[in-house]
A and B are shown apart, each in its own frame.
Chain A
């Protein structure tokens, strides 16, 4: 455990300056974000740097924040440095109307299906992906089901609205 979160943060700030931001450490995992145009540069730097060596893509997925205008979709990368055993979380936010994010498939072969899954459920358009089509849902589907505007419950039921789940409403 020679590599600490502070060192990673310093190296990133040294290289990218103001562009990497919002550093935090929830449950000990360094989390930060960058503009979506920069995602490949950041991933490449994390991969190539002789001290950082984040060469294992553990996971890639998206999160939908419908109330955060202009930054509705977050694409989250979990990276792992297997040598020093350090994990980091890297996020890029994108507008939901033009959800274009560069693909990481050139760097990680494993990103192929992960990005297809993310596209399938959130509609993130990975620019440059070799085969960006639906993977788990049927090909004919014309919406992205994990977005928050598609509720799970039958909307005619009043006993299952959001306040029963601790969000909004009077019971809380």
Chain B
């Protein structure tokens, strides 16, 4: 790997040798616990070896000893930038196993939350790409709106980052009027900020020069590497789980799936921006659809499944039956059918899958998370080979790697 790089240099000169650079595990430029041992020829990356596992927490092993509800907080900690998608994906998996049909209104409420989470995730990713190319202001503009999204989560479930949102069959409570008010405020105000962000970046000469042609991948390689989500779409493949295998009534919504052409950092940035606009449109459609639901279903927020859905707290304190069910569910003494299933949702950075084997016990026999980050991070070495070190940092943030999801 060394000694032959720059033939114009005199024999034995120090520039002629490659150096080993250790980026990470806690490097300020990598936004997470990633280690890359890079072989550098001056500023160019000759090869990189990624080491992962610094925050491995054995989620799959833990899940084998936990009833279904205790697994929801584990899923929070996968991609912690968009926890509601993980939570709802897990609940959808359980519902598929248990054979629960959710009312349309519940599906639409879930869609609102999942799309909010997607916006929160994409806005972090895109503004961080801006920060890594040297433009801090876009990050500051958009961060304010992530705060608004977190306030909506807080109003719905009481927490902000690791949300543990919802239950099997729906939500623990209906969206409050304040939650709707905050949601409407967000829908009204966010387009302006996003537009401003796009004005700052999309046709910015410096940003374009830094990102076009930076870390490109062809559609064939991306598919072979198991890319999914915005990174695959940036390479030109229109695969989206929301369209291919719709869940939570996504088939009722009208949205486009943006695709790029070259799969470079700029395309990934553009795809994520368009997806944020599409998510906003989906949220608006969902609000509209919910307002159109009239009659008995107008306030429903969970499926009628008393075996799996915790009874209301006031009933637990006043009625024996509810108290019994409360304890049965909390202790995990609910019947689980035998079965083996794979369910996936479109996570913010790719196809988030749950492979769930139930042997009829109270806990999964085996639960495997298909974590999109983990799968596409192995292409990183190929993406940055031959590029500058500063580009390698930009490529890493544009892939939207989340350490929690990487290591599980």
Chain A residues with CB under 8 Å of chain B are 26-27, 29, 31, 55-59, 61, 63-64, 76, 78, 82, 85, 87, 89, 108-110, 112-114, 117, 121, 134-138, 145-146, 150, 152-153, 164-167
Contacts and interface: CB of A to CB of B under 8 A. Distances in A.
A110 B61 contact: no
Interface residues of B, number: 47
Interface stretch (B18-26, B83-91, B172-180, B352-360): B352-360
Contacts of B145: none
A56 B226 contact: yes
A58 B224 contact: no
Contacts of A167: 359, 361
Contact of A109 (B359, B360, B374, B378): B378
A44 to B, nearest CB: 14
A87 B225 CA distance: 18
Interface in B285-343: 332-333, 336, 339-342
Contacts of A121: 60
User: Which of B244, B342, B359 is the most central at the interface, judged by chain A CB atoms within 10 Å of its CB?
Assistant: B342
A85 B240 CA distance: 11
Interface stretch (B40-48, B253-261, B363-371, B391-399): B363-371
Contact of B223 (A55, A137, A150, A165): A55
User: Which of A64, A76, A136, A152 is the most central at the interface, judged by chain B CB atoms within 10 Å of its CB?
Assistant: A136
Contact of B61 (A57, A82, A146): A146
Nearest to B62: A152
B215 to A, nearest CB: 16
A136 B378 contact: no
B53 interface: yes
Contacts of A145: 58, 61
Contact of B375 (A29, A85, A113, A152): A113
Interface string B109-123: 000000000000000
Contacts of B362: 164-166
13 contacts: A26-B340, A27-B341, A61-B355, A63-B366, A85-B244, A85-B245, A87-B342, A135-B53, A136-B52, A145-B58, A145-B61, A166-B333, A166-B336
Contacts of B244: 82, 85
Contacts of B185: none
A87 B244 CA distance: 11
User: Which of B336, B366, B379 is the most central at the interface, judged by chain A CB atoms within 10 Å of its CB?
Assistant: B366
B284 interface: no
Contacts of B52: 135-136
Given A58-B370, A63-B357, A165-B362, A108 B53 contact: no
